[in-house]
Amino acid sequence: MSACPEDSPFRYQQLADQLAKELRDGRPAAGARMPSVRSLCELHAASLATVTHALHRLEDAGLIEARPRLGFFVRAAAPVAPVSSAAPRVADALDLRRERLMALAASQDELLSLGHLALPAELLPVAALRRLTQARLRESGWAEGSVAGSPALRAALAERLVQRGCRVGAEDVVVTHGEGESLQLCLRELTRPGDRVAVTKPVSLRTLEVLLSMGLMVEELPAASDGQEVAQALEALSRSTPIAVCIANLGLSGAMGTAWPDAARAALVAVCARHALPLIECDLLGELPIGAEYPRPLKAFDDDDRVLHCASLDCVTGTGMSIGWIASGRHRLQMRAARAVQGELLPALTDQVLADFLGSDAADRHLRRLRQQLGRRVRAWREAALACLPAGTTVHHGPLGHQLWVRLPGGLSALALLARARQRGINFVPGPVFTTGGDFDDCLRLTAGHALDERRGAALRVLGELAGELAGGL
């Protein structure tokens, strides 16, 4: 076999095409193990980075699959479509992201996750929720359900938003089964297939999936260091292109390094007001400010009532005892009616327990303790990541939550690093899943929910070693 030309800018694609042809010819046979990365490097006179990129293209095409600690194996049912070197359509790119994350989820028990947001049990208010649940079980009303949440739960949620500077009442809150349902409900009511939706970057994979599954066109606002620049970009886009709705996730873009002071938040809301543009605010981590800064949500600047505030309690109470909600005065009747038709009833037991919890001092005590613990863990993880990963790596952490946004030096591929990490039993969330483009190919997300114990510290060191090997092969 001849090596791809050394001067080719797409050498890894040429290698992927060559390997794909051999696989479709039955070499190696279905189910067989692929040669190791180092063997392929020697066989094709290619660098580690080139071979890793090529294997990743084959994996995206469904020709091979990675098995933790074992390497790559030929899939039994290989598709016949070629491994195209052309830039994928947005929908195709999303399919690759979905397939990759589904594969990660399927092997989650075997992999040590360093990038998922779920908090460990020791950081959840388990004892308080158990006590409140046992008390409610002694009553008879817990077997019922509601469409939009009980008055008590909606009042408790509204009060927490008021404490954060928002002008909302219990009647403005529609409770859902989670932030994902809230987002889908808003989009179903505010858009039609073919509409264009502006989104701040990075974009969560869930948001991208929902948008494209509904036949909506994604207009990503440019990633910027200053939130004022994002507002200006939305203004320019709204003047030139019909936009149906804007979606903002300031917790995620803040983690990436975009600064969102009050003036920038107010500017974004003002642009939407000028253009009569609904603004969906995804605020999953809003109750988890880390440090002295306590940023206000976009809803706090919403004089024109254009903001639909969507959030959930997943990162406060855990997914097993959680709900989501939409807070909007302008759209509350529309959302409540839509949920009555499209949504499942909310279990009264969960509703009652969370209303009791949020309405007590226990919630504030838990949140104060949780923020302190996450703050310590974020600082420890950031220092460890900078110490373990190659020189030139940057690690950002925004004012909300426990996300760490890592940018690798020298254009290193996060997907290439992930492929090698998975073979060592380590998993993280690669940056490319947060965009339809290539802005974050050299980025990855880590999270600091878990304590930096010996196992996770060792995993970070392994990531550093693997990134160093990739850098050496470029």
The answer to whether 417 touches 408, Cβ cutoff 8 Å, is yes
411 φ/ψ sector (left φ>0, alpha ψ -120 to 50, else beta): left
What kind of architecture, by CATH, is found in domain 124-359?
Answer: 3-Layer(aba) Sandwich (3.40)
Domain 11-86 architecture:
Orthogonal Bundle (1.10)
pLDDT score of 87 more than 70: no
Tokens for 40, please give them: 């392929």
Query: 445 in helix, strand or coil?
Result: strand
Total Cβ atoms within 10 A of residue 238: 19
Cα angle 155, 159, 163; round to 5: 175
- So what's the pLDDT on residue 9? 38
On average, the pLDDT of the chain sits at 88
Q: How far is it, in rounded angstroms, from Cα 367 to Cα 355?
A: 16
pLDDT digits (tens, 9 = 90+) for 392-442: 999 999 999 999 999 999 889 998 899 899 889 999 998 988 888 888 989
What is the model's pTM?
0.81
CA distance 427 to 466: 13
Report strand pairing: 196-199 vs 173-176: unpaired
Give me the phi and psi of 450, to 5 degrees please: -85, 150
Spatial distance between the Cα atoms of 249 and 245, rounded to a whole number of angstroms:
14
Task: For residue range 182-237, list pLDDT tens digits in order.
Answer: 999 999 999 999 999 999 999 988 898 899 889 999 999 998 889 999 999 999 99
- Sequence ranges of the domains in the chain: 11-86, 109-116+368-473, 124-359
CA angle 284, 361, 261 (to 5 degrees): 40
Mean pLDDT of 13-34: 85
- For domain 109-116+368-473, give the fold: Aspartate Aminotransferase, domain 1 (3.90.1150)
- Alpha-carbon distance of 60 to 76, in angstroms, equals 15
Q: Exposed/middle/buried for 48, CB within 10 Å: 0-12, 13-18, 19+?
A: buried
Question: What pLDDT is stored for residue 165 in this prediction?
Answer: 96
Whole-number pLDDT of residue 332: 95
